Amino acid sequence: MNTTHSHANGGALPAITIDTAIEKKEQVVDAGMQSLDHYKRALPKWRYYLRQQALPLVRWETPYLAWLQATLRSPTLDSYFAITANLGTHTFFMIGLPIMFWCGNASFGKGLVHMLAAGVFFTGFVKDFFSLPRPLSPPLHRITMSGSAALEYGFPSTHSANAVSVAVYGILCLHEPDNPLQPSTRSALEALAYFYAISIVFGRLYCGMHGFVDVIVGSVMGALISLTEYHYGTALNMYLLENSWTSLSALLLLIIVLIRVHPEPADDCPCFDDSVAFAGVMIGLEIGTWRFGRSSFADIPFDLNALGYPAVILRILFGVLLIFAWREVAKPSLLRGLPHLFRLIETWGLSLPRRFFMPASEYKKIPLRLRVDNVMPNVSDLPGLITAVRGPGRGRSVSVGPQSAADAYETLAYRERRRRESGSAGSKPGLRNKASAQDISAVQDDNSSNYIPSPAAAARSSAVSSSPLHQKPSDFEKLMGEGTVIVSPVEIDGNGDAEPVMYIRSQDELGHKEVFSKLVKPRVRYDVEVVTKLVVYCGIGWLAVEIIPVLYEFIPGLGAGHLRVA
């Protein structure tokens, strides 16, 4: 049965002979040993040991998460938690935070940027260090509006770190003795902060994106980051402002060193991309605030009533448009020019020896419309985002089944573990058993509804087909490792490592269809992308805190210099 299926990312998958891949057992490598070897090869021994010690926690909590999700799920809660999850994302803060610098809240905004950058960097650092998967699907259903979220590792939760750090910092500021707000207003804002944090953190559990340990550790990291910023952030800002450029340079060098020591992940996880982007924002923020604080524009006040709402709205629109314009111009220019510089640097024996990144000497040019990060949307993405949110699913997707390499490997590893524990060795080691192959061979076209599970699969799924009130966590444990993953013979990559080709099946709950697709290897990533992100996001931070506020004073109707006290 030669069938061309739609790829999960929208591309057409080359015609694959599913029956042939299943019937020729010698071409189907066993689940377990390939998955275990993957992390053993990819990680240093000591990191692999730590990962194996932490992995049982992820597996232990998965049935309880699935039971919680099945007990509480409703269409209303699905939409609520999928939409509100955006309030804890990098994109939300990256678009919203610059406004604080343009509307008289520069000190509070800088504190939030510090916390967000630290949260994204250090949770990404830990994610890549441990390379732990998200809780398994099935039995969990993944509810999300972000296509890239499932590609990241699960431990710890960046959403939780972001939400808790913002909430704790806001509550600490509300309790300051010189806070001018009325007690009733402070109480309302404090309650809102608690609700925001709890909603984001619990939503990660409800949406099946994280486990209990993920959100607990992420929340603790967020609280520690906010306490550090609250007690020491102002002192650091004053120290940098009062000293020469050498102190600032030392801080910038520390940021670059942290990027350099960021752990190599076992899979192509986008955590490093996010960390680099926010490191760039930090560099631009510190340079811009250091320069702006020493300029003649630093004492210009902001008064909403004096400026008027139309002028403030125009200031915000001008700033946002300028940031997007910078990104649209700078990124393709850097992608076009940097490879020449990197090839020259390589001749000196220097390069960026990171896994998954191709050195400049091995390619000629880079697609200029390349999407190098997920932190901010491209201008071309905006119409699609609006259309998706207005659609029947409100931009969210609900999927069941592996979505990333980490998901697939964990599905295979758990299946092998279960087989070892049950002692059922009915098939030749290293090959799938016949019943499992029959389940997979029943996959039809994406829109087909004629899939009839085998008796074995039907028996497993019947355990969770009853009312949620009659389900137990142990019922969901039976579905762990039941995701469809087919492993073909290994391929030898450029480093001489053996890598399998995997095919996965995921179910789109909202679209009422199943997608059987090749788990393609990540796109080629270029060494210049790291510096490109650093420069682009450094520019965004610099624009937000210095260049745009200065430009306001030269545009009639937007400046506030006339409000300065003589």
Secondary structure of residue 517 in the 3-state scheme: strand
User: Each residue of 63-80: pLDDT tens digit?
Assistant: 999 899 989 988 888 888
* Residue 285: predicted pLDDT: 93
* Predicted confidence (pLDDT) at residue 82 exceeds the cutoff of 90: no
Give the chain's count of helices (H) and strands (E): 20, 9
Distance from C-alpha of 500 to C-alpha of 486, rounded to nearest angstrom: 10
- What pLDDT, in 10s, does the model give residues 12-47? 333 333 333 333 333 333 333 345 577 888 889 999
Can you tell me whether residue 208 is helix, strand or coil? Answer: coil
Q: Which long-range contacts (CB under 8 A, 24 or more apart) does 433-442 make?
A: 437/22, 437/23, 437/25, 437/28, 439/484, 440/18, 440/22, 440/484, 440/486, 440/505, 441/18, 441/19, 441/22, 441/23
Label residue 507 by pLDDT band (50, 70, 90): low
pLDDT at 566: 54
Q: Would you place residue 499 in the very low, low, confident or very high pLDDT band (cuts 50, 70, 90)?
A: low
Mean pLDDT of 279-300: 90
The yes-or-no verdict on residue 361 having pLDDT over 90 is no
Catalytic residue among 5, 38, 90, 210: 210
Q: Measured between alpha carbons, how far is 323 from 95 in angstroms, rounded to an integer?
A: 9
Q: Answer yes or no: is pLDDT of 455 > 50.
A: no
The percentage of the chain sitting over the pLDDT mark of 70, rounded to a whole number, equals 68
pLDDT over 90 at 121, yes or no = yes
Average pLDDT of the chain, as a whole number: 75
7 classed as catalytic: no
Summarize pLDDT for 462-494 with one digit per residue, the tens.
Answer: 444 445 555 777 777 777 766 666 555 544 444
User: How much of the chain exceeds pLDDT 90, in percent?
Assistant: 27
pLDDT value for 430: 37
| Average pLDDT for 368-395 | 52
50 band by pLDDT with thresholds 50, 70 and 90: very high
Yes or no: say if 483 and 66 are a contact pair by the CB < 8 Å rule: no
Alpha helices in 8-134 (DSSP H): 18-23, 31-42, 45-72, 75-84, 90-102, 106-130
**Annotated active-site residue in 5, 38, 141, 159:** 159
pLDDT tens digit string along 391-412? 444 445 676 767 777 777 777 7
**Angstrom distance (rounded) from CA 530 to CA 481:** 36
Segment 190-207 mean pLDDT: 94
340 or 16, higher pLDDT: 340
Q: Is 262 a catalytic residue?
A: no
Query: What are the tens digits of pLDDT across the range 520-547?
Result: 455 667 788 888 889 999 999 999 999 9
CB 536 within 8 A of CB 331: yes
Higher pLDDT, 434 or 303: 303
Residue 448: band (very low, low, confident or very high) from pLDDT cuts 50, 70, 90: very low
Residue 86 pLDDT: 79
Higher pLDDT, 322 or 426: 322
pLDDT at site 463: 45
Measured distance CA(238)–CA(472) in Å, rounded: 56
Q: For the chain, first and last CA: distance in Å?
A: 82
Average pLDDT over residues 277-298: 90
The whole-number pLDDT of residue 529 equals 84
